Structure 1
């Protein structure tokens, strides 16, 4: 067995910083959303992704990829969102096994109310600390890391799917 390719000092420092950001940033965003809007960060992400889609709807498997979770975990989250009347599930008209998740008017209102505080917190914690060049670098770096991070091998930004265009 060959010797591991150990991280050098600069790589180890960068890695530790990245791990801390990945651990602390979601917790900080979740705290802000829960305190100010009563919405957990994972639920906010689901609502936000739905709001960006045509007809505010997307196939459940595509939504799971977008939010970076498993279909099972997404199903549990969507069930909770359905109880709050923030989303509803619908049968896919072209695939009896598929389901569409659709943002309701109530869910959109929750998102609209939560978004200003959330974006201010994102700006405060991330973008206010970076120059425009650093924002471009961050975008480039994260785009390089994304393709290999999906557990199922699918790209994390699937093409939009809407009920009217099929559910494949």
Structure 2
């Protein structure tokens, strides 16, 4: 708020100075010193008015959140994972900014019945990089329908709700 107030007061003072310099340009019949001064003040007014109108929150350097799951089958238009078993029975993706050594997942229906749960295994066999690719083979053991895919930052034998890292809606079709 202080920046915007400072910009508004500065712009007001620069407008007064711009008007005075413009008057001096007319009186001195376009003396080069006053023309240069008028251009400099005009440039300052434009830059400060842009700063006053803009957002001061810096977002271009926001880091990737820890344990960010990027799933290849995610459809952003409908907001869910689409797994068509006629094409592939495997969910693929990667974990970015990984900071744990063990991950697991569950696939549940709307009544929280677990249809699949297992440890998440990286494609190279070891969680040793900040970004790791993984795959989950769903196969035919889960019937077609809508499910929730939940990722945990713990091994499958020690998961609880406090260790949920990410959740996705999952639609399986044949």
TM-score (norm 1): 0.23
* Structure having the higher Rg: 2
Q: Which has the higher strand share?
A: 2
TM-score (norm 2): 0.23
Q: Which has the higher helix share?
A: 1
Higher relative contact order (CA 8 A, sep 6+): 1
